[in-house]
A and B are shown apart, each in its own frame.
Chain A
């Protein structure tokens, strides 16, 4: 935790994006999390992803629940509105916000306690509704703010800092998201930015419910021997199924690849996902086999990462409901209020 304010001055040579903004314009307040916290790396990855996508920061709405992870939206995208809501209930608040204005980009940040314990129901229902959002769980398997209790994503047999073994089965949010109909599912590791940044970029440009489970070790309470969410453990057991490069629609693909090693997926908005295969028989478009693969590798003690599933032509909640293109919060009074004439007609029918 640092007490020094961040200097406002930019280095004159800082690179700018298409909007003429520097990376610094995408930052937020100084983090108050512990030094070395995985969550801060995720915040930095978000800053980089949004900067590189040339998105105007104020067109993003960042929402969170309660917990260490849910504090992080203060630490990125300072020009965006943020909402630190109620423990476990970010998905409903985000859903409502999305209903009100479909033109903004919704970034939900949550933790394993927030999403897998108290908020498991809301997590599930937001996935199955296809809310257009990026939902990142900063997953450290432990309650930090209340000092070290197991969370519902802690693996069975994992040891707490005090040496107590967890006896409950772990909830696998990735498996749940897949089963519940999320149309973009990925898993990253806060210690691997080269994998995480393209995942976040692709998710931001995905239409529909995009879920990223990001293993993010807690340096204070869950980074010891016996933990299955420590930096060392995750590095050792990380098995990426693919390597993702995100290419915005404007760029041309020039490099040639060996046939069968790279797949290019065009998303709804024209952006391209270039997927270099690492696991030979992994198909990120097959929800059923993805689930099977995930479970078999998890049983073998591996942590499967990468872009696990994507439906590039997904629809979102607004499509399902048939709402107008105009954001609901921008409809005019004439469009909303039927007026006295309609009421007179209705009165006549009620006599």
Chain B
């Protein structure tokens, strides 16, 4: 039989230790809070003065600032505040805050943090470089754009865009790690802060072995209407990855020409169900009267979801003519009778 007494002591003892740890933690936190309150006031004051009057002479207001800056936690707090203010304000205030950051020599510590192995400290340093636009660190950041830790490489990619705009996209040439949809969204948003500047490489990225790069390139085509790449985009419609083809359908709809609708109708039957839906939706935007016979023919599908979308497409291509076409659509049998009713209501609103 197992000796139980030691276990009982062990469990009760550990509980007690955890409780004491909790108590000490809360106590220290309480003490710190008072100090933080004071520090927060100082930090806010420094930032307010900077934003208000471009007054960088911090020593003027806070004689002890140099001593305070030697304390790591204060430095962290001030850096955090400057960072968040820099993100919130544009124009002159933004410039002044960056000058303040450099004047207080806060950039010194960024390099230190950049070289650690602790991924979130490293990622934070990279983020700071981007916010403060420390262009001289471009190379150091660029090295991390294919880092194996997702957060580090994502922050590196975002920061590169922040530093040099569209030119920064060249990391897509070599990135082998996937870029999640989330970060694709963030990258596109970062780009939107810059004035559009023609950029090269999309044709190469469209052929990348990294499918997430292909998808991102397609999104760039979509976002910036890169008509000149029509031929290259068209090739992606045969990509083995379903998601790539789906994005291709979306993107090519944005740069369509007279042959696009035909392209869609020719691939329709061999596509996956999801992509058939996608094509039907795309034809709402670019379809013409010529496509209606094709759409009517496809209505024979058993799938009701597809039927609804196809009917909507037919209606939207020519709303005025929908009434006449309806007679061809089996308007008296279920479910077409109800679908037609719904679509009719939609186009009259």
B and A form one assembly: no
A residues engaging B (CB < 8 A)?
none
